[in-house]
Structure 1
Amino acid sequence: MKKIGMLLIASSAFAYSVPAVAAAAVAPRATTATGVVQGTLEASGVASYKGIPFAAPPVGDLRWKAPQPAQKWKGVRKADHFGPRAMQLPLFGDMVFRSDGVSEDCLYLNVWTPAKSAKAKLPVLVYFYGGGFAAGDGSEPRYDGASMAAKGIVTLTVNYRLNVFGFLAHPELSAESPNKASGNYGLMDQAAALNWVKKNIAAFGGDPSRVTIAGESAGSWSVSAQMITPLSKGLIAGAIGESGSLLGVHPPAPLADAEKAGAAFAEKIAAPTLAAMRALPAQQLLETLRQPGAPWFSAIEDGYVLPRAPSAMYAAGEQAKVPLLAGWNSHEGHYKQVLGDAEPTEANFAAALQKFYGDQAGAARSAYPGEVVKAATDLASDGFIVYGTWKWIDTHARTSGKPVYRYYYSRPRPGDTGAAHSAEIEYALGNLDGNKVYAWTGEDRALSTLMQGYFANFIKTGNPNGAGLPDWPQASNGAGSRLMHLDATSRAVTATDDARFQFQDAEMQKKH
């Protein structure tokens, strides 16, 4: 991957040298390696810069190539609106976008900063959106960085390529690559953004040596990936993972398998060669994902971005040795994912466990005890995303030598039953007011204040604890770890779910 360029320090980072009375009318400016950007000064005093290109548009011959350096520009580039979001189908009803439509030209990032000077050296948060590597965008209100910036943190959201555009592997792509690998272009985009941060964030008052990466769902998987890819080595000071990692029950496919799947997909859409696929208009290529049986593209063990199996790399201590804060929600899955349309009875649950685990059905029931709806919900959650998050936390606690903080989040949004997947995002980032769907209560706002306080402290110090917050003990590996239970009343507790993860560990060992 080519370098993006060295930071220019020649001119002042901000247009704050005017009298205080006139300052509110002056748009802030920052000088990056590729040119001057002019943002917006928000009412809170936070400066926002939206739609900054961190790499060249990945179009034409750059489709399915590593991100290339962004072109320099002359004069002042307005950074007052979000750039286009990555090519994606409308898959998730809870996604709200403020971006300039959908485009293959999507490699833009957004910065919110409270700094009044380029010398502020504030801690930095880089947040990766979720959406299963198939959808999502840095413009979503739930990820808005203004609230975190008001806590003294330079906050960024980053766009990265998705689905077939971001994760297609193909024999011809591997052959043309200098690294003899393909896929993982979305992960390369994230690493390119982190390299951009290293070179440019000081111009926005950020400290390039104090960068915490965070994300939810696929964004959390991305955090686990950036901690082991050589492309981001030395760029990360801390990590936050909300629900997900690459160490789950469905690990990244080996490159050879992903290449076969990519070649089969190319044949199916009548574009059997790489030239034919690159010639397809972006929207036409996207529409092929609507076809029955279209693959779900995701991260790949390609030997380059991900040199080895993530679980093996973490077990060997090859990840970034940084503090980790991670956890999951109470209802990541739904009991019907286990039981289907069958009633949640003991007999039906036993039948489902027999189908899934055969002669280990009894052991599964022992690992998931108690009332059927909860047990089946826990099982569905583990199969989707919880086990992988636990494995990441547990392994990092074993091999990193750095503090690990684990949480369990169980606060339902108003009117919901249980804390569903992604429910915690607005609370953690201080963005309840950006979500107009729910009638937030005083308890919701108190929990958001608490969670944002923990997250902000962790970003600043590598430790979530601080004045006025319940003590959050460090997690340990193995049984009986301590964790923070986040709800209307939050408190530190000892884990009682170890049997679930021991059972899943044993199942994983059989498969691999």
Structure 2
Amino acid sequence: MRLRPASVRPSRLAVVLLALATCGPAIAQDAPHVAVNGGPLVGKTATVSGVALQEFLGIPYAAAPVGPLRWKPPQPVAGWNEPRKATAFGPRCMQLPLFGDMVFRSRGMSEDCLYLNVWTPAAPAAAKRPVLVYFYGGGFVAGDGSEPRYDGASMASKGLVTVTVNYRLGVFGFLAAPGLAAESPQHATGNYGLLDQVAALRWVRDNIARFGGDPARITIAGESAGSISVSALMTSPLSRQLIAGAIGESGALIAPIAPQPRAAAEATGSAFMAQLHADSIDALRAMPAQALLQATDPQARPAFDFAPDVDGLFLTEAPAETFAHGEQAKVPLLLGSNSQEGFYPAILHDRPPTPANYRAALDALFGDRAAEALRLYPGATADEVKRSATALAGDLFIAHSTWRWMELHRRSGGQPVYFYYYAHPRPARYHPAPGERPDTGAVHSGEIEYALGNLDGNAVYAWTPVDRVVSRTMQGYFAQFVRRGDPNRAGLPAWPAVRESRGGITRQTIDADTRTGIDRGAARQAFLRDFLASHRNPLR
């Protein structure tokens, strides 16, 4: 999985520079250039907020995982000698069009998708710059580093070197099968998409100094599946020494999103192969990528869930166990979730939010523990039902896993943990559907554009001055955390690290009025932890 060491000698570099100066109108003479381990790159320039930047897009960090490399750990990229244009995003990884809010700038879709993108300030750095590596969300089945909401230019304008990474998805990234385990020297199977992320981090470590970045100051970040990835990368023996900080937006690889046992993942893979009448891994590798993709359509029956597992290579145990042992990356952590990760109809199955309907729903979800659930998520009035059922839906979806990550790392990580509650709803759409109203809370993924400074990249919403204030605050926190491992700086509301206070723990509410508050939800989170230890997630 390690990429080949740097091999650019002074004589080769001279050839590269000559080629850049004489290659004609296809490459501007003032275009930025850099030589990485694979070969020379030519990027492009941009200006954001008055800051001159250099952008290098579509950089291959591993070989194309096609043919015999399908379902293999990422392999070293083949080198090149001629200057390679890095001015457009590479292809996105194979995926179905499952999410309507995803907008791609990629060059189509392909199995050949292991590319990353780098944005860096153009001015020479007085010191090596901190690095942000961001992993997209999409449930491990969709997403791409080219999405405008993840664009790295705004963060680069704050003095960071910013990187987005493509990684394999769905059946291509997470198929596990006995035949694949037999091929592996470690008898590992699954998690190829997470192994891609490790390969990208190694590429960043080995090459980022050439873009002005400091390989000793890499902060990893992501939202949803990207956040889940960050929690896993903190615990993997392959990656926990590569990072200096971590940011998680909604999600961790901890119950109710814990990794599958390898045997369960292999059983899913074997059933998938049987469905396709593939009697061997070679037969499965011979199938067209599009046919494999269509066979994973969630509308198909049976439906297959390809997700992270304890594969024996990337993960040797569940992340919750690693955190409990204190063997994770001992780095500062900033994380949180949103006020409307779920919504009350998911609990009530679209029945009216009456106390009676709510109690019946809790009976169905929690059985003989329903009364305990009702005490922790009370519902004596319709308004209280809406609030509590929304909180419960969000917890069972993703907020509980985030809370447990926070609690585990603050107890065993030996580094500050900064916990947030994002509560600012997006504004109205420019062109709402008839009868459509703005969200009442901060929905899942609704913070991304604010955190990365990319409101203007989303033309769907009618952003207001208040939205821009919230974005400046949240982006300011994120950028400062990447710089220092602490989000606090002059001009931002003070944000204390998590500590016990007034019967709860400190937590930063990020909204139009950003402030420090107290999270008193430990009892309900303990209830869910204990319930989920012996039951499946009742919403799945």
TM-score (norm 2): 0.91
Structure 2 match to 1:464: 487
Structure 1 match to 2:473: 450
Residue by residue over 1:430-454, the C-alpha shift from the partner in whole angstroms, topping out at 9 and shown as x without a partner, is 0000000000000000000011100
Give the drift of 1:196: 0.1
Give the drift of 1:116: 3.0
Aligned equivalents of 1:314, 1:492: Cα separation in 2: 26
For 1:165-184, list aligned pairs within 5 A.
165-184=172-191
Moved more, 341-350 or 218-227: 341-350
Give the drift of 1:3: 3.6
Structure 2 match to 1:501: 525
* Equivalent position to 1:403, from 416, 423, 427: 416
CA pair 423-9 structure 1, distance change in 2 beyond 3 A: farther
Letter in 2 for 1:501: Q
Letter in 1 for 2:121: P
Residue by residue over 1:424-479, the C-alpha shift from the partner in whole angstroms, topping out at 9 and shown as x without a partner, is 00000000000000000000000000111000000000000000111101013796
> Is 1:34 equivalent to 2:41 in the alignment?
no
Whether the 8 Å contact between 1:263 and 1:272 is mirrored in structure 2 is no
TM-score (norm 1): 0.96
Letter in 1 for 2:474: M
Whether the 8 Å contact between 1:116 and 1:205 is mirrored in structure 2 is no
Whether the 8 Å contact between 2:3 and 2:77 is mirrored in structure 1 is no
Structure 2 match to 1:150: 157
> Is 1:299 equivalent to 2:311 in the alignment?
no
CA pair 477-209 structure 1, distance change in 2 beyond 3 A: farther
Structure 1 match to 2:198: 191
> Is 1:488 equivalent to 2:512 in the alignment?
yes
Moved more, 266-275 or 359-368: 266-275
Structure 1 match to 2:432: none
* Equivalent position to 2:247, from 240, 245, 249: 240
Give the drift of 1:9: 7.7
Whether the 8 Å contact between 2:3 and 2:62 is mirrored in structure 1 is no
For 1:360-379, list aligned pairs within 5 A.
360-370=369-379, 371-379=384-392
Aligned equivalents of 1:248, 1:214: Cα separation in 2: 20
* Equivalent position to 2:443, from 411, 420, 431: 420
Whether the 8 Å contact between 2:416 and 2:497 is mirrored in structure 1 is yes
Aligned equivalents of 1:272, 1:42: Cα separation in 2: 51
Give the drift of 1:41: 0.5
For 1:178-327, list aligned pairs within 5 A.
178-290=185-297, 291-327=300-336
Whether the 8 Å contact between 1:119 and 1:205 is mirrored in structure 2 is no
Aligned equivalents of 1:181, 1:162: Cα separation in 2: 18
Whether the 8 Å contact between 1:52 and 1:109 is mirrored in structure 2 is yes
Whether the 8 Å contact between 1:335 and 1:374 is mirrored in structure 2 is yes
Residue by residue over 1:232-291, the C-alpha shift from the partner in whole angstroms, topping out at 9 and shown as x without a partner, is 132100000000000131311111111011101110122232111100011111010122
Residue by residue over 1:344-371, the C-alpha shift from the partner in whole angstroms, topping out at 9 and shown as x without a partner, is 1111111111111111101001111250
* Equivalent position to 1:385, from 371, 393, 398: 398
Give the drift of 1:499: 2.4
CA pair 310-130 structure 1, distance change in 2 beyond 3 A: same
Letter in 1 for 2:390: T
Residue by residue over 1:59-89, the C-alpha shift from the partner in whole angstroms, topping out at 9 and shown as x without a partner, is 0000000000001101210000000000000
* Equivalent position to 2:462, from 422, 439, 445: 439
Whether the 8 Å contact between 1:4 and 1:196 is mirrored in structure 2 is no
Letter in 1 for 2:396: G
Structure 2 match to 1:21: none
Give the drift of 1:293: 2.5
Give the drift of 1:496: 2.6
Structure 1 match to 2:431: none
CA pair 336-6 structure 1, distance change in 2 beyond 3 A: same
CA pair 229-223 structure 1, distance change in 2 beyond 3 A: same
Classify the secondary structure of the residue corresponding to 1:427: helix
Aligned equivalents of 1:78, 1:285: Cα separation in 2: 31
Classify the secondary structure of the residue corresponding to 1:386: helix
Residue by residue over 1:13-69, the C-alpha shift from the partner in whole angstroms, topping out at 9 and shown as x without a partner, is x99x99xxxxx9611011101111110111331110000000000000000000000
Whether the 8 Å contact between 1:7 and 1:200 is mirrored in structure 2 is no
Structure 2 match to 1:57: 64
Classify the secondary structure of the residue corresponding to 1:398: helix
Whether the 8 Å contact between 2:309 and 2:315 is mirrored in structure 1 is yes
CA pair 119-332 structure 1, distance change in 2 beyond 3 A: same
* Equivalent position to 2:141, from 134, 144, 167: 134
Classify the secondary structure of the residue corresponding to 2:295: helix
Aligned equivalents of 1:264, 1:237: Cα separation in 2: 40
Aligned equivalents of 2:533, 2:265: Cα separation in 1: 22
CA pair 173-485 structure 1, distance change in 2 beyond 3 A: same
Letter in 2 for 1:489: D
CA pair 406-6 structure 1, distance change in 2 beyond 3 A: same
Whether the 8 Å contact between 2:342 and 2:394 is mirrored in structure 1 is yes
Aligned equivalents of 1:511, 1:287: Cα separation in 2: 32
Letter in 1 for 2:400: Y
Aligned equivalents of 1:233, 1:401: Cα separation in 2: 15
Give the drift of 1:123: 0.2
Give the drift of 1:497: 2.1
CA pair 25-434 structure 1, distance change in 2 beyond 3 A: farther
Give the drift of 1:402: 0.2
Moved more, 369-378 or 68-77: 369-378
Whether the 8 Å contact between 2:136 and 2:144 is mirrored in structure 1 is yes
CA pair 219-477 structure 1, distance change in 2 beyond 3 A: farther
Give the drift of 1:509: 3.4
Give the drift of 1:117: 3.6
Q: CA RMSD in A?
A: 1.9
Whether the 8 Å contact between 2:2 and 2:202 is mirrored in structure 1 is no
Letter in 1 for 2:38: T
Point out where structure 2 has 5 or more consecutive residues left out of the alignment. 22-27, 428-437
Give the drift of 1:125: 0.2
**Number of residues paired by the alignment?**
505
Classify the secondary structure of the residue corresponding to 2:47: coil
Aligned equivalents of 1:87, 1:39: Cα separation in 2: 26
Whether the 8 Å contact between 1:447 and 1:488 is mirrored in structure 2 is yes
CA pair 130-4 structure 1, distance change in 2 beyond 3 A: farther
* Equivalent position to 1:394, from 403, 407, 411: 407
* Equivalent position to 1:335, from 321, 341, 344: 344
> Is 1:356 equivalent to 2:369 in the alignment?
no
CA pair 199-2 structure 1, distance change in 2 beyond 3 A: closer
> Is 1:345 equivalent to 2:354 in the alignment?
yes
Whether the 8 Å contact between 1:118 and 1:204 is mirrored in structure 2 is no
CA pair 212-9 structure 1, distance change in 2 beyond 3 A: farther
